[in-house]
Amino acid sequence: MDALNLLFENNREWAEKIAQEQPGFFEQLSKQQNPEYLWIGCSDSRVPANEIVNLPPGEVFVHRNIANVVVHTDLNCLSVIQYAVDVLKVKHIIVCGHYGCGGVTAAMEPDSHGLIDNWLRHIRDIYRFHISELDAIEDPAKRKDRLCELNVIEQVANVCNTTMVSNAWKAGQELTVHGWIYRLEDGLLQDLDVTSIASGKL
């Protein structure tokens, strides 16, 4: 069986299993989605949103890009946030980074990586904002881990500062923004406890 046939085979088995366990699941879900969470994460294949939090289809609205960056002018990400906040009325936006992020690693290297350097520039800016803290960390692995955390914290701030989120808060909409980080080595999530920062104080 070639690799792509395997995917179709897997899909049929997966759909059959769910249909057996929960008759009417797909029919019901096809009528509407009502997720409580917007997940903004890294494109890394090892950090799949639904699997990590063990939630089925329909529960998580997802945006992923390299190094989970929220750029003030990125219409793709902003449109996802708008739909999630204004239409789906999600209650939580989770920015989830991960240790060992290739995008963060590349941003710390002096060499050029082509077009993606323009995207990674946003991470380099974060390094610049926190240069004294980061340069004081002698262990390069620990310095990289800290930049992964600071990247999540900065992206939480960026989410909070979008017009959609600040308007939702002004209107009294129930919405919380969280910063989490995932460790590839043990599959565990950690809350960076920046949720309070997201209460409109930035």
Per-residue binding string, Co ion, 1-40, x by CB under 5 A, is ----------------------------------------
CA atoms in the 13 A half-sphere facing the CB of 123: 27
143 is catalytic: no
Locate 101 and state its tokens: 């992020």
Among 69, 93, 101, 123, binds Co ion (CB under 5 A): 101
In terms of C-beta distances under 8 Å and separation of at least 24 residues, what long-range contacts does 72-77 make, across chains too?
72/158, 72/161, 72/162, 77/40
- With binding defined as CB under 5 A, does residue 159 bind Co ion? no
Task: Please tell me the count of residues contacting Co ion according to CB under 5 A.
Answer: 3
What is the DSSP annotation of 74-116? Answer: -HHHHHHHHIIIIIS--SEEEEEEETT-HHHHHHHSSS--TTH
Locate 102 and state its tokens: 């290739």
Q: Which one from 77, 96, 101, 160 is the annotated catalytic residue?
A: 101
146 is catalytic: no
Among 35, 38, 39, 42, binds Co ion (CB under 5 A): 42
Residues taking part in catalysis: 42, 44, 46, 98, 101
Contacts with Co ion, residue ranges (CB under 5 A): 42, 44, 101
